[in-house]
Chains A and B, each alone.
Chain A
Amino acid sequence: MDTDVSQVGWIPVALNNAVQAGSAIRVIAGTDDIALWRGKDGVAHAWENRCPHRGMRLSYGTVCGNRLRCLYHGWIYDGSGTCVAIPAHPDLTPPQTIKVRTYRCVEAGALIWISDEDNSAPAIDGHWTPCRSLHIEVAMPDLPEILKWTKVNSVRPLSTYAADVALPDQGRLILAVHPMGSKGAMLHCALPASARRDSLLSASHWLGELRSRIEQAAVV
């Protein structure tokens, strides 16, 4: 499924603990390759994973304070994606036109969401804690399709890609799906912040079983 990020609204691309302050990771969202990084100030950024200079994936870069430095030539970009330093030419003020393409990036429900659009981010009440992310080796199924494979007491959609669900045995959790084009999809699961260790383990186990059912259904 070729999902273009620009046409689908907010996509949950990771649990909020997948990228720690001072680090960068690579995520795929639809057909887009994205560098997800978090400055020392804790703010998460989602950028096109490509340095405008020589195309190097910025997810290999180094977070310096609240800026990202490309691995290849050390070009430094501020939080807005604008190039602020070119080490090979220290006396040059980089032209403002050297700018990484950025996505909007917010955190809600223990998830990091990205979007290309100006519409408002999913409103998710309460405090949540990250539980588990799993890769599924099948083309992205719709969230209602996925929920057919498990018993639910109630479903409250949060967006196209996430729902606040109540399960008979697990209680309440957020289930999110995140399309990755030809690379399958990710399932993300978050629990209320009050969840204890046994609830997290149980939800983690449930998510693993859900993945098996989705993948088996895809094979049949």
Chain B
Amino acid sequence: MTPDPFTLSHWYAIGRIEDFPNGYKGEHRILSTDIAVSHHGELNVTGPEGSMGVQTRYGHVWTTLSRDPRPLYNMPEFEEEGRRLVTAGAIAVRCSGLRAVENFLDMAHFPFVHTGILGVEEHAEVEKYDVSMGAAGDEIWATKCRFFQPMAAAAAEGGQVIEYRYRVAHPYSTILYKTCPLRDGHWDLIGLFIQPTEEDECIVHSFVLVFDEHNTDTDLLHFQQNIFLQDRMVLENQVPNKLPIDPRWEMPTRAVKSHGVTWSTTRFEKVA
């Protein structure tokens, strides 16, 4: 299936900047298309129709199959002093990238999948939250998300009610803004840059951008990897592994529908 125009119009992360050192040459894949990446003084990405757009931002290398891509969204927090960026590398997952976004936005699974870390069964209730479109109409924000967490971050001590904001900056990119346990009035960022390789396979590149003076990079990495591996077990056992489109489904699906996204989705009716 050829990707729909909205899916084609975006920039996709293909790895961290340090994964493509000078002299690098390698084959990669986005949206069921082979691409070649090389770095000889400057980064070059080549697809079936020749040279493609490339940029480095947010610690990652981004490319697009579009000749007229939508601009990559802004994350001004990357300019803030005192934050630490830790990337967790590339994790291949055999599911639609949209499934991974859906999972990331979902607080209700915390007590059952991330038991004792992001949730506990005694506090499983998800309270009402607000959903709004971003200023330009192509982003979705879920705000005033509140959830009891026994160990919300590597830097957290003891349980607390954490306030979240979720941002779906594009269909395959999602960022969580989480109350910073160390600095009042600030948000810690955790995000996924998903590289959709096939309709039912993706590579998840993730980052944390936090104020945290106590934990080592390795501590932060282990915390994230622990969470991701728990999610991966779910993501690779959902049937179907493409995202079903159905009115009963929640927030991410509405976003997908309103932009005519069809690639990497499946009609609910076809699920036998």
- Kindly state whether residue A42 has any CB partner on chain B within 8 Å: no
Those of B179-230 within 8 Å (CB) of chain A = none
Those of B99-130 within 8 Å (CB) of chain A = 102, 106-109, 111-113, 121, 124-126
Contact call A74/B237, Cβ cutoff below 8 A:
no
The stretch from A48-56, A106-114, A156-164, A170-178 touching chain B is A48-56
Interface residue from B112, B124, B125, B238 paired with A55 (Cβ < 8 Å) = B238
What are 16 A-B contacts defined by CB distance under 8 Å? A49-B239, A56-B237, A57-B237, A57-B239, A60-B237, A71-B112, A72-B109, A73-B112, A74-B111, A74-B112, A87-B112, A87-B121, A87-B124, A87-B125, A88-B124, A89-B126
User: Residue-by-residue, is A2-37 near B (CB-CB < 8 Å gives 1, otherwise 0)?
Assistant: 000000000000000000000000000000010000
Q: Known contacts A55-B244, A88-B126: does B239 contact A50 (CB below 8 Å)?
A: yes
- Distance of A15 Cα from B107 Cα, bound (Å): 39
- Kindly state whether residue B234 has any CB partner on chain A within 8 Å: yes
Give the total of B residues in contact with A, Cβ under 8 Å: 20
Chain B residue nearest in CB terms to A85: B124
Minimum Cβ distance to chain B for residue A71 (Å): 6
- Kindly state whether residue B240 has any CB partner on chain A within 8 Å: yes
Minimum Cβ distance to chain A for residue B95 (Å): 10
Contact call B238/A88, Cβ cutoff below 8 A:
no
Q: Which residues of A contact B (CB under 8 A)?
A: 33, 49-50, 54-57, 60, 70-74, 87-90
- Distance of A88 Cα from B240 Cα, bound (Å): 23
Minimum Cβ distance to chain A for residue B2 (Å): 25
Chain A residues with CB below 8 A from B107, complex form: 88
Contact call A72/B239, Cβ cutoff below 8 A:
no
Chain A residues with CB below 8 A from B125, complex form: 87-90
Chain A residues with CB below 8 A from B238, complex form: 54-57
Contact call A71/B126, Cβ cutoff below 8 A:
no
Interface residue from B102, B108, B121, B239 paired with A33 (Cβ < 8 Å) = B239
Minimum Cβ distance to chain B for residue A147 (Å): 33
Minimum Cβ distance to chain A for residue B268 (Å): 10
- Distance of A24 Cα from B219 Cα, bound (Å): 35
- Distance of A73 Cα from B107 Cα, bound (Å): 9
Contact call B112/A72, Cβ cutoff below 8 A:
yes
Chain A residues with CB below 8 A from B109, complex form: 72-73
- Distance of A171 Cα from B73 Cα, bound (Å): 73
Q: Known contacts A73-B108, A87-B111, A87-B121: does B126 contact A56 (CB below 8 Å)?
A: no
- Distance of A73 Cα from B113 Cα, bound (Å): 8
- Distance of A61 Cα from B126 Cα, bound (Å): 21
Q: Known contacts A88-B125, A88-B126, A90-B125: does B240 contact A72 (CB below 8 Å)?
A: no
Q: A74-B112, A87-B111, A88-B107 are in contact. List 12 more A-B contacts (CB 8 A).
A: A55-B239, A56-B237, A56-B238, A60-B233, A70-B112, A72-B234, A73-B109, A87-B112, A87-B124, A88-B124, A89-B125, A89-B126
Chain A residues with CB below 8 A from B244, complex form: 55
User: Residue-by-residue, is B229-272 near A (CB-CB < 8 Å gives 1, otherwise 0)?
Assistant: 00001100111100010000000000000000000000000010
Minimum Cβ distance to chain B for residue A81 (Å): 16
- Distance of A55 Cα from B106 Cα, bound (Å): 14
Chain A residue nearest in CB terms to B113: A72
Name which of B106, B108, B240 has the most chain A CB atoms within 10 A of its CB.
B108
